[in-house]
Amino acid sequence: MHAYLFPGQGTQYPGMGKALYDKSPLAQEYFKKGNDILGFSISDVMFEGSAKDLKQTKYSQPAIFLHSYILSKTLGNKFKPNMVAGHSLGEISALAAIGSLDFESALLLIAKRAAAMQKVCEVENTGMAVVVGLYDVIVKDICKKVDGIVVPANYNALKQVVISGDMKALREACDKLRPGAKAVINLPVSGAFHSPFMEPIVEEFRMAVEETKFNKPRCPIYQNFAGRQTEDVEIIKRNLIDQLTHPVMWRHTILHMIEDGATEFTEIGPGNFLRGLVRQIDKSVQTHGIS
């Protein structure tokens, strides 16, 4: 069975989507629609903006969505997923790709999500870092011993955990983790996503989700909050909201997809981060990328 994966924030890069735009009239059409819906030229930011520009949540989230969604559309009839998953923001890209959200609804929901997150980022001095080479229980235990708020935000693989928190606590946790880890790297994001710092925007995002029309998806989606498959619209909506303040259970998601029959994974969107994680989780499955 063939699973498709959609990347999240942190995979953006200057010039993203430009080659796609240059060679595909369909892509040009969608980029124009995207600019019109957002009320500004996101394509200019993607094609000509700096890494610093694209690090801003209000730009990175719609940019990654557009890149991923448009790529899925250019595949035409070749896009036949048996199941999908998206990493954080990528969950909305996945839902749009399988028809649970139409293009405009998905982009507007992402714009509202990004704007709400950006507000938190501007008020709080927070960030995220990836810890490689330590088991998640060790990372979680050290985070608990730090003064301030820092928590595991993404359980990416057996020995890859992203932590999220206020900068002082994050730095302290990184210093404590560094001696035992293979690497501890700050991520190019502007806030502490999937942490208690997102609590102030939960109600705002809940309203945005409730105002958005969701359809039954064409295939199951495995969501970050629980890592289990669903096609139930109400569960999908609830999981999207819960994802804001809870960790991304990525390793569990991939293991459940494999358990349910996935033998081939294709990542659609910028970068190759997710297929790398799949290979870490289970080397026996096939991985591909369309970027």
- pTM recorded for the entire structure: 0.92
- Is-contact 135 181, C-beta < 8 A? no
| Per-position pLDDT tens, the chain of length 291 | 999 999 998 888 999 999 999 999 999 999 999 999 999 999 999 999 999 888 888 899 999 999 999 999 999 999 999 999 999 999 999 999 999 999 999 999 999 998 998 888 877 789 999 999 999 999 999 999 999 999 999 999 999 999 999 999 999 999 999 999 999 999 877 788 999 999 999 999 999 999 999 999 999 999 999 999 999 999 999 999 999 999 999 999 999 999 999 999 999 999 899 999 999 999 999 999 887
- Catalytic residue at 88? yes
CA-based Rg of the chain, rounded to a whole angstrom? 18
Residues in the chain: 291
Beta bridge mates, 5: 85, 267
- Say which of 194, 246, 256, 291 is annotated catalytic: 194
Domain boundaries, the chain: 2-122+196-290, 125-186
- The strand order across the sheet containing 221-222 reads 229-230, 221-222, 83-86, 2-6, 264-268, 286-290
Residues near 28 by beta carbon (within 8 Å), at least 6 away in sequence: 21
SS (H, E, C) 112-140: HHHHHHHHHHHHCCEEEEEEECCCHHHHH
Distance in angstroms (rounded) separating the CA atoms of residues 142 and 218: 42
Architecture of the domain made up of 125-186? 2-Layer Sandwich (3.30)
Q: Is 194 known to be catalytic?
A: yes
The architecture in CATH of the region 2-122+196-290 reads 3-Layer(aba) Sandwich (3.40)
- Selected catalytic residue, list 43, 68, 72, 88: 88
